[in-house]
Structure 1
Amino acid sequence: MLHQLEKAQQVPETHDFLKNLFLDGDLIPLPFQKYLAPWIAKRRTPQIEKQYEEIGGGSPILRYTKIQGEGMAKLMDELNPETAPHKFYVAFRYANPLTEETARQMKADGVTRAVAFTQYPQYSCSTTGSSLNELYRKGKAGDFGKDIEWSVIDRWGTHPGFIEAVAQNIEAALAKFPESSRSETVLLFSAHSLPMSVVNRGDPYVLEVSASVSAVMDRLGHSNPYRLVWQSQVGPSAWMGMQTGEALKGLARLGKKQVVLIPIAFTSDHIETLYELDLEYAKEAREHGIEVHRATSLNDSPVFIRALADIATAHLRQTAKTGPTSIQVGLRCPGCKNETCGAQKTWFARGGR
């Protein structure tokens, strides 16, 4: 099993991570990208390193990804013994272990059947799409070895197990407020934003995140008022809004006193949750008179790990009937001009042939 994830792991890697991030035109399209990306990375590295220091020196995302992968593979051995044993691999897009390192390991292990299982619940061509493009490039070059049969799990943002895991964490956060005022607490779902240039070319991410939020609220019985907001804007260009920090200030102005922050598009803790939500936004909210509690990230949640196993097991059982990819992953954004995306989709639809 191949997990697609991205974020920096430790402070010493920060510059390389940022450089790789800003070099990725699928995620952040920049003019003169080859020259501008290293310059931006150099300028931003001290600030990001300081943030990592404030959350303890590094990101726990690799540790949690391994916990999730190990738990998933163990459950899959029980749920689907006909395809056992199952083994997971981690392939980050911008930080170690990079896809090329994982490819070498899979080749050395003699892997002949692989599932590209995105760990972004909701699809975007700038995240899952970019990771699949990189897999395609390495796969076509033979870096994974010869004759590997590939299939893709490309999105799962409304899967009942994922929704249940998120809802349980929200309920735990709500329980920290007095019962008398609990129903007045605003649920603020926060997802990583996208440049409007990506949104406007037809990327499905905003729709899919919205679908996740709707499913969670259905599960909660629409117990509280809620909004979906966006975080982690980078650079001066227009991004999807409104931004999480501005939303908190606006809620304070409207007289709201209690908020639960919910990371709806992340599957484990990293700098966007531990620094942006916990230290930056929550601090600002408290300064404006709002009591804030954050719903815990999915991390090592048994409910979430079971959901991953269920998703992957169902995928393996259905692939013979449905093919290597979903119908939806085969559709390019209407405004897409990236020829790699078209080639990648064709390659995966043929099982990596």
Structure 2
Amino acid sequence: MDAMARPGVSSHMRLSGPRLRSLNHKSSMSCPQTSSFTSARCQLSEGLQDIDKSSLVVSSDPTNTRTSNLGGSYIHGPIHNRNPVGQTFCSVGVCVHDGSVIESHSHAKEERVGVLLLNLGGPETLHDVQPFLFNLFADPDIIRLPRPFQFLQRPLAQLISVLRAPKSKEGYAAIGGGSPLRKITDEQAHALKMALEAKKMAANVYVGMRYWYPFTEEAVQQIKKDRITRLVVLPLYPQFSISTTGSSIRVLQSIFREDSYLSRLPVSIIESWYQREGYVKSMADLIEKELQSFSKPEEVMVFFSAHGVPVSYVEDAGDPYRDQMEECICLIMEELKARGIDNDHTLAYQSRVGPVKWLQPYTDEVLVELGQKGVKSLLAVPVSFVSEHIETLEEIDMEYKHLALESGIENWGRVPALGCTSSFITDLADAVIESLPLAAAMSTPRKTSEEVDPDPVSYAIKMFFGSMLAFVLLFSPKMILAFRNHLF
């Protein structure tokens, strides 16, 4: 993605426990004492309490369930595979399966179950790049403006999208002229449907993208049209961030609030699943396999590269992303150690944009440092991505690989994204089945004082000065040049 940023997160999202400050050594690290999967211990040097696999919800919350301001149940936990039954088709850009609900699960009897997969989306052609970027930067969860200046969101998004489009087009051109994210997500939706049917659970699986087609709004309309009676929302982001899962949930909140049918629909939201046994073992499988491609696997540095977020989102807005990412790395390395793989490893953050401070250490800087320290073999692991897209295919495979080799690293490898890996999809299906009984109708909260119609005078003043500022921005020499290059 070309940029990231995250909204405020409610206090129940805050995670406690020590953070990993350094992952550049073998067996001395300790992990945040949050959730884990069955029999996994989150510390390499001291064990953590085992977590019962039978628990439907894995969470630091003692009640194991959460109620969001959206009204549905939030689940920390679950994810599975496929079974060849039925036929998948696309209606208004949304993947839907034409199949009848079967009656093997008591909680699903006489019901039409839906699963909504949420993802970022990506431009499918070079022509789509600039409008995609506009949608991205117009999201207040990506660029967080102070309240008095929020009316400048769209003019600023237009400015940034036009300025960034040329460079972004180069990146997408390098990977074939567009993002493969929609195709891969559709394949994952089909695989998940087949996995659910293999477990005797019939369900329609929908795909909703945040910034490009098929938009979340389209998926929700299809869910309503299909008269779904129980819905599981599954964001395809292993770790929760207020800029990814949080942003998508905010959209759902807005849609459900305005619709009487949707507001009564029982919904479960699986807000993160990085601690799922299936996910952790699937990641360990891929890492173990790729290590064998090196002549001396035991000497390879395992380099986890995660998408970054601005530090202010974590420290000021309470985003749990960093804590969850560090725990995720701990769980994967613990699984590898159980298999006799005890390689050095580290975690860094990629894809920072703009002048603000992002989570550190930065991927590009760490690659240079590792080369200077004499690391010769490195295996890159895109830990926050479950689908190949521009961050893996262009940023890691091209930019970072070139930088690593230029810095003295001689042997480079990269773990592929999970995609439709059988064990991964199978665990996703388990997550859906486990969370389904916890579905609860969403509430329709009244408008808050922040959402009521503004005072007409103050609104007019803000619009006047905002328009003047937007005029200056849009007609600055740099912007005019950018538009000229864009149009001609």
**Residues 85-100 of structure 1 aligned to structure 2 (within 5 Å):** 85-100=202-217
DSSP 3-state at the match of 1:220? helix
Q: Specify which of 360, 378, 392 is matched with residue 241 of structure 1.
A: 360
Match of 1:330 in 2: none
How far apart are the structure 1 equivalents of 2:331 and 2:407?
30
Match of 1:301 in 2: 421
DSSP 3-state at the match of 1:188? strand
How far apart are the structure 2 equivalents of 1:51 and 1:87?
34
- Greater Cα offset, 262-271 or 70-79: 70-79
Match of 2:189 in 1: 69
Cα contact 1:4–1:116 (8 A) shared by 2: yes
How far 1:22 sits from its partner (Å)? 0.9
**Residues 8-19 of structure 1 aligned to structure 2 (within 5 Å):** 8-10=122-124, 11-19=126-134
Match of 1:183 in 2: 298
Tell me the TM-score normalized by structure 1. 0.86
**Residues 1-353 of structure 1 aligned to structure 2 (within 5 Å):** 1-10=115-124, 11-30=126-145, 32-79=152-199, 81=200, 84-142=201-259, 145=262, 147-178=264-295, 181-201=296-316, 202-221=318-337, 223-290=342-409, 291-317=411-437, 319=438
Which one-letter code corresponds to 1:73 in the other structure? Answer: K
Cα contact 1:103–1:143 (8 A) shared by 2: no
Cα contact 1:2–1:91 (8 A) shared by 2: yes
How far 1:288 sits from its partner (Å)? 2.0
Cα contact 1:73–1:86 (8 A) shared by 2: yes
Q: Max radius of gyration: which structure? A: 2
How far 1:113 sits from its partner (Å)? 1.6
More helix by share: 1
How far apart are the structure 1 equivalents of 2:216 and 2:301?
39
Q: Of the two structures, which has the highest relative contact order with CA contacts closer than 8 Å and spacing of 6 or more?
A: 2
How far apart are the structure 1 equivalents of 2:336 and 2:400?
24
Which one-letter code corresponds to 1:209 in the other structure? Answer: M
Cα contact 2:263–2:441 (8 A) shared by 1: no
Q: Which runs of 4+ in 1 moved over 3 A?
A: 143-147, 337-340
Cα contact 1:104–1:144 (8 A) shared by 2: no
Q: How large is the Cα RMSD of the aligned pairs?
A: 2.1
DSSP 3-state at the match of 1:296? coil
Unaligned runs of 5+ in 2: 1-114, 443-447, 452-488
In structure 2, relative to structure 1, the CA distance for the partners of 1:143 and 1:90 (3 Å cut) is farther
DSSP 3-state at the match of 1:209? helix
DSSP 3-state at the match of 1:88? strand
How far apart are the structure 1 equivalents of 2:436 and 2:207?
19
DSSP 3-state at the match of 1:277? helix
How far apart are the structure 1 equivalents of 2:278 and 2:123?
27
How far apart are the structure 1 equivalents of 2:260 and 2:301?
48
How far 1:292 sits from its partner (Å)? 1.1
Residue deviations 1:291-348, cap 9 Å, x none?
Answer: 210001101211111111111112124x17xx679xxxxxxxxxxx9979xxxxxxxx
How far apart are the structure 1 equivalents of 2:263 and 2:396?
44
How far apart are the structure 1 equivalents of 2:245 and 2:138?
16
Which one-letter code corresponds to 1:217 in the other structure? Answer: M
In structure 2, relative to structure 1, the CA distance for the partners of 1:226 and 1:146 (3 Å cut) is closer
How far apart are the structure 1 equivalents of 2:293 and 2:226?
48
% identity of equivalent residues: 35
- Greater Cα offset, 254-263 or 30-39: 30-39
